[in-house]
Amino acid sequence: MKNKFLLSACALAAAALTAEARAQAESPAQDKAESQRLEAIVVTGKRANRISKGATGLAMELKDTPQSISTLDKEDLTNFGLTGSNEALGLATGINVDQYETNRAVFNSRGFDIQLTQLDGLGMTNSWGTVVGREDTFLFEKIELIRGANGLLTGVGNASGTINYVRKRPTNQDGGEVNASVGSWNMRRAALDYNKVLTADGSWAGRVIVAHEDKDSYLRDLHDNRTTAYGVVDGQIGDNGVLTAGVTVVDARQDSPMWGSLTLVRADGTQIDVPSGTSTSQNWTYWNTKSYSSFVEYAHKLSTDWEAKATYNYRHGDEKTKLFYASGSLDANNVGLTGWPYRSETESDNHVMDVNLSGQFSAFGRRHSLVVGFNRSTEKTATGTYLLAPGCNDQPPMPALPALPYAGNVIPEPTWPTQSTACNSGEQTLNRLYVASRLELTDSLKAIVGVNAFRHWRGGESRYGSGGTPLDPRTRKTSPYAGLTYDITPNLTTYVSYSNIFLPQEQADPNGNLLAPAKGTNVEAGVKAEWLSKALMTTFAVFSAKQKGLAAYGGMTAGGAYWYYPDNFDSKGFEMEASGRLGKDTRVTLGYTHLTLTGSDGQDANTWVPRNTLNFLVDSRMPGFESVKLGLSGRWQSKAYKAYSVTQGAYATANAFASYDLNDKTTLRFNINNLLDKKAIGGIENGAIYIPPRNASVSLSYKL
């Protein structure tokens, strides 16, 4: 796979050099004629700013979409030095990031874990909602955050939301940027983004993006080394076709990772306070991940109003780990933990194929839009474990650990078997037919209706689930979606939307049988308004989601396996967001979420989710000193706690940056994160790790 990527990169470079020589041989008159022809070819439109397909699969303005959608664009990501996706999502409206280990995290919204992550609108449910590693944000034009039920995106999911990473694509202009950064904990980073028009007529273009980051950490002995490379080309096929193909390679290596998190509660229930850099890991451990991803997309213009598109995505992942897990009950001297060494190798393969037909049609004297398509997603995972005890789920004798915090050399690396044993493998397939339409009922009233008809199949064990046997491995379901928007004025729109909830689950009951799929409904209503000549958009939304049969933790079986029971949850609340520009030089995002979440007993549920969150980002160029830009971002959340575990009181964090344009091509930027040096626990759903203390970085960017 790596050789294929290198060949693709070489081919791309060769094409660029050939195009350069050809362009130099062209006459100026021919160049002018060809540049004028660019306006007529289809690919030019494809490279323009894309309107979001949001929650429905239909191309609509955000204001016209009957669901809450927020975006983090590349300017936000660059200004605040948000090179990792987890850190970026932590500043998004209504999103909570639970970084419970150094290499694994879950995200939640509206009280539930987000289990759907997409690339350019395509993806599949995450195993257990768990995301391994971080995406390098330098690859993306923006990150879309679609809150609420998955609607027409898959028809499978809960009432949390969807994260959609929108990749950068080729443009019609040569050029790019290169930047370098240094920062706290020996952070060093370099990145390149370059676009090249490959043919004299502009019908083909390519883009190459490379980012490398190497850094230590505030956590004891932790070291990250990550390299990401992405190449993409697109171009004209005949008069009406556009072909796009890309390859991404990620090599991420983490030394001394934490597997599991900090134990911060003693046996008597009191909570301890240890240095924020405390780690449970040992210095012989690592968590190395490699992935090879490719995609090909072909769009064909059938007529002025209709387009057919086929897309195929493939991802292969490899993980190699040596880990150390610490657990137990602490006494008054913070002694009582024992450790479990673990080694594994995991491979995963994901295929996503989508074909659809979209366009506009006339009926009853009005224009309407329609999309109809078929999607197939498959996932296979297989894990081999180097066993130190007879059974895959058995644990070897656990050595006692010194008082917390302890050093990284207190437990020697065990002698591993020469071969691994296949301990965990699973697969799932989702086939779905979907149709959605936006109907213009009047000049002001629009209806968005659609349906997913899907079949979901799975076998083997969930990678992060509790194991177990599916009572019915094949699931068929039809899931409707409906919404209404009404334009009170050209700049003020109200909306209401409804969606079914259907979620196949990976948790088992005490008898080892997987729970039946959770079901429910999601309703949202709101108002969206555009201000200042559409430079600023505000949204106010109220939501209500009822989920029946959703897995809730019950305890551990006599054999040491986790077990769950079906519970009913009721999530209600409201969200407010303002995002856009206040004048030419000032950009702002301000969001607030209030949530109530109860279980079937009417009591608070999932109390690790903060009930109130506030986030903001603002940056502005200084009047009279336009070369200087200043910015501030931050987040506040209310108290969160977990029974028999830790409590984190309400707290706020802030980040700041200052940049200076040395000339029209070069920018120097200084970032400070956790400006107030707040000590807090980042998330407590699955464990506990302190957030990073105050840290800083300096970056230099140059436009090519």
For the stretch 336-390, pLDDT in tens is: 999 999 999 999 999 999 999 999 999 999 999 999 999 999 999 999 999 998 8
Reported as a pLDDT band with limits 50, 70 and 90, residue 48 is very low
Which pLDDT score is estimated for 414? Answer: 94
Joined tokens for residue 685: 């759903």
Joined tokens for residue 3: 């050789």
Q: How many residues does the chain have?
A: 704
Rounded Cα distance between 551 and 162, Å, is 20
Which pLDDT score is estimated for 21? Answer: 39
Buried-exposed string 292-321: b where 16+ CB fall within 10 A, e elsewhere: bbbbebbbbbeeeeebbbebbbbbebebeb
Selection from 210, 290, 211 nearest residue 252 by Cα: 290
Within a 10 A sphere around the Cβ of 652, how many other Cβ atoms? 12
Q: Which domain holds residue 123?
A: 2-703
List of residues 6+ apart from 159 with CB closer than 8 A: 110, 111, 112, 148, 149, 501, 520, 522, 543, 545, 547, 571
Alpha carbon distances (Å) from 382 to 104, 210, 317, 698: 18, 29, 11, 42
Has residue 149 got a pLDDT over 60?
Answer: yes
Rounded Cα distance between 50 and 297, Å, is 15
For the stretch 444-484, pLDDT in tens is: 999 999 988 888 887 776 655 545 555 555 678 888 889 99
Give the mean model confidence (pLDDT) for residues 494-523: 86
- DSSP letters, 592-617, are EEEEEEE-TTSSB--TTS-SEEEEEE
Selection from 530, 577, 544 nearest residue 64 by Cα: 530
Positive/negative CA dihedral, 262, 268, 269, 273: negative
| Domain of residue 96, CATH code | 2.40.170.20
The percentage of the chain sitting over the pLDDT mark of 70, rounded to a whole number, equals 88
Joined tokens for residue 241: 């076709």
pTM of the model: 0.89
Buried-exposed string 525-548: b where 16+ CB fall within 10 A, e elsewhere: bbebbbeeeeebbbbbbebbbbbb
- DSSP letters, 94-163, are T-EEE--SSSEEEEEETTEE--EEEETTEEEEPGGG-EES--BGGGEEEEEEEES--TTS-S-B-SSEEE
The single-letter code of the amino acid at 612 is N
First to last CA, the chain: 30
Q: Is the peptide bond before 402 cis (omega within 30 degrees of 0)?
A: no
List of residues 6+ apart from 202 with CB closer than 8 A: 34, 35, 37, 38, 41, 43, 44, 172
Query: Residue 358 CA to chain centroid, in angstroms?
Result: 26
For β-strands 116-119 and 366-385, DSSP reports them as unpaired
Number of domains in the chain: 1
Joined tokens for residue 5: 């990527």
Joined tokens for residue 338: 């024992």
Tokens 């074909």 belong to 355
> By the 8 A CB rule, do 475 and 458 touch?
no
For β-strands 140-147 and 131-132, DSSP reports them as unpaired
Which pLDDT score is estimated for 56? Answer: 60
For the stretch 60-113, pLDDT in tens is: 888 888 989 999 999 999 999 999 999 999 989 999 999 889 998 889 999 988
